[in-house]
Amino acid sequence: MLRPGTMLDSRTRRRGTSRLPDYRKRAAALAASTLLIAWAASAAPPDPSTPSSAPAPALDTVTIQTQRDRAILEQRVEKFVSGITRTPFQDSLARWQKEVPICFAIAGFTREHGEYTLSRLSQIASAAGAPLAPDHCKPNFRVVATAVPDDMMTLLRQQSPAIFGDATDRKIRQFTEATTPIRTWYNVTLFNSDGSGCGIVVNGADSVPICQGNKPTSWGAVRDLTSVLVLIDTRRTKDINWDQLVAFVAMTGLAEIRLNANPADAPTILRLFTDSANAPVQGMTLWDTAYLKALYGTDHSARTQVLAMGQSIVKDIAP
């Protein structure tokens, strides 16, 4: 096991348990304050090759016998998608793109749990079609577990002043003062829909992005996730299993999920802290995997992406 303050990243995932040349330097930077507390779990995490990565149980599937059944399912999916997806006015949805592929970094876990988390997150991201960075990448999807989240936020801001991008003080306070067991912060950047970077015009103290113009059916620029921070309060997540924890991190880190997500009656890991009695024990459900697959498998620049996602999810749930 790793001592408190341990940090694993995507390069560790690709090279087994070997340490990196800069491993001690980066781990020491976080360990110095002794704020990264190793996960207090008595049971070992499941092997990534065991049932956790297998298809979700049959209870997630829907049998369609009549057109009315399909119409009901379509309504359920529509409520699910609209209830959990952050859809900004006059902007695209946000997702990871090949211009900024995902590079995971895990801190505050034992080695055993950290390696499992890296492996499982990579599996989920790859299955969804999200881009993963090659070796020697710079971490941009950070998962931090701690028993003192407020102190940890102070430390992180001291170490990385730009961690919240250009967000307003009000938005930053909403995150730092939140009391939810798991909080997720998103940094988003506009890219032209062809993947090229938007131009920048300096207007006084502000830098204004200049992107391609919108079209009637598509966005000229799309919102790409460029970094994500997932902060886990270990005091409030003791009673959930590891598959549930990793699935929740994956759903909220691979997609820009509403702060007060309402999945309606959908079987989803997003119920974990709002309806724990009905949260899936196995972690990711068919609805969850279908959602992520739809987010990354539909046209990011299309104004109708949300509609296309719903259609894709229905096909996966009731082929």
CB atoms within 10 A of CB 224: 20
Query: What is the model's pLDDT at position 195?
Result: 87
Query: What is the model's pLDDT at position 232?
Result: 97
Query: What is the model's pLDDT at position 7?
Result: 59
Query: What is the model's pLDDT at position 58?
Result: 43
283 band by pLDDT with thresholds 50, 70 and 90: very high
Q: Is the pLDDT of residue 23 over 60?
A: no
Query: What is the model's pLDDT at position 90?
Result: 84
Q: What is the pLDDT of residues 136-173, one digit of tens each?
A: 899 999 999 999 999 999 898 888 888 998 888 899 88
Query: What is the model's pLDDT at position 15?
Result: 38
Q: Is the pLDDT of residue 285 over 90?
A: yes
319 band by pLDDT with thresholds 50, 70 and 90: confident
Query: What is the model's pLDDT at position 31?
Result: 37
206 band by pLDDT with thresholds 50, 70 and 90: low
Q: CA-to-CA distance for 120 and 138, rounded, in angstroms?
A: 19
Q: CA-to-CA distance for 238 and 39, rounded, in angstroms?
A: 9
Please give the residue that has the higher pLDDT: either 40 or 266.
266
Instruction: Provide mean pLDDT across the span 92-119.
Output: 96
33 band by pLDDT with thresholds 50, 70 and 90: very low
Q: Give residues with Cβ within 8 angstroms of 217, minimum separation 6.
A: 302, 303, 304
Q: ∠ CA 291-297-299 to the nearest 5 degrees?
A: 115
Query: What is the model's pLDDT at position 56?
Result: 44
Query: What is the model's pLDDT at position 205?
Result: 59
Q: CA-to-CA distance for 45 and 10, rounded, in angstroms?
A: 18
36 band by pLDDT with thresholds 50, 70 and 90: very low
Q: How far apart are the first and last CA of the chain?
A: 44
Which range has the worst mean pLDDT, 83-92, 115-124, 296-305?
83-92
Q: CA-to-CA distance for 46 and 43, rounded, in angstroms?
A: 9
- HSE-CB at 198 with a 13 A cutoff on CA atoms is 20
Q: Are strands 199-203 and 221-233 parallel, antiparallel or unpaired?
A: unpaired
3-state secondary structure at position 91: coil
Query: What is the model's pLDDT at position 212?
Result: 86
Q: Is the pLDDT of residue 57 over 70?
A: no
Q: Give residues with Cβ within 8 angstroms of 70, minimum separation 6.
A: 64, 314, 318
* Amino acid, res. 256: E
Q: Is the pLDDT of residue 84 over 90?
A: yes
Mean pLDDT computed over every residue of the chain: 83
39 band by pLDDT with thresholds 50, 70 and 90: very low
